């Protein structure tokens, strides 16, 4: 599976808007060997246990892959479980599990879990303004302001009572 190859990542990156690209570094050959190793296992992954098992067994490889490949991996995981929200949430929870600081606790994903969390935070920060703009556009603000004025006017007519 070529999901994490340099060429596939460059093609994927070319489709992303500029604001999203701020959290995804340029693609180079560093981490490609680790990505090629991980890619061999992707076709056999069926559920969140398989995915988290792959991450646990290959923490160093996931760390070596770099942010762009980890975000692409997460995007692929989310797409694989697009119709099963619960399984998708279990998967993200297991992959990002950091456990406690005590030896032997958690799933063994502590260090790579922190990286996945940081990747998700960076992606969310890049997407935040875009998402906010979709929710609060000029028309929405105008509608809310209009309703607010109507409500204030109605309350004034009733002497300040609701």
pLDDT in tens, 36-86: 999 999 999 988 889 889 999 999 999 999 999 999 999 888 888 777 888
Q: Which two tokens stand for residue 112?
A: 């790579």
**pLDDT at residue 137 in the model:** 77
User: What gap in Å lies between CA 108 and CA 70, rounded to an integer?
Assistant: 17
Measure the N-to-C terminal CA separation of the chain; round to a whole number of Å.
Answer: 62
Burial class (CB in 10 A: 0-12, 13-18, 19+), 16: middle
CB 95 within 8 A of CB 53: no
User: What gap in Å lies between CA 39 and CA 44, rounded to an integer?
Assistant: 10
**pLDDT at residue 63 in the model:** 93
User: What gap in Å lies between CA 20 and CA 5, rounded to an integer?
Assistant: 20
DSSP code for 17: -
Between 52 and 106, the more confident residue is 52
């Amino acid at each position: 599976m070529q999901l994490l190859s340099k060429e596939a990542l460059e093609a994927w990156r070319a489709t992303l808007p500029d604001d999203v690209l701020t959290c995804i570094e340029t693609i180079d050959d560093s981490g490609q060997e680790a990505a090629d190793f991980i890619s061999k296992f992707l076709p056999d992954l069926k559920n969140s246990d398989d995915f988290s098992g792959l991450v646990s067994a290959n923490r160093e490889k996931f760390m070596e892959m770099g942010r762009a490949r980890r975000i692409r991996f997460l995007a692929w995981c989310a797409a694989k479980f697009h119709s099963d929200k619960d399984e998708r949430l279990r998967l993200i929870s297991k992959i990002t599990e950091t456990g406690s600081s005590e030896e032997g606790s958690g799933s063994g994903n502590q260090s790579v879990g922190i990286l996945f969390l940081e990747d998700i935070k960076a992606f969310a920060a890049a997407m935040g303004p875009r998402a906010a703009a979709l929710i609060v556009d000029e028309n929405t603000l105008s509608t809310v302001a209009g309703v607010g004025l109507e409500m204030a006017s109605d309350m004034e007519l009733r002497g300040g009572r609701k």
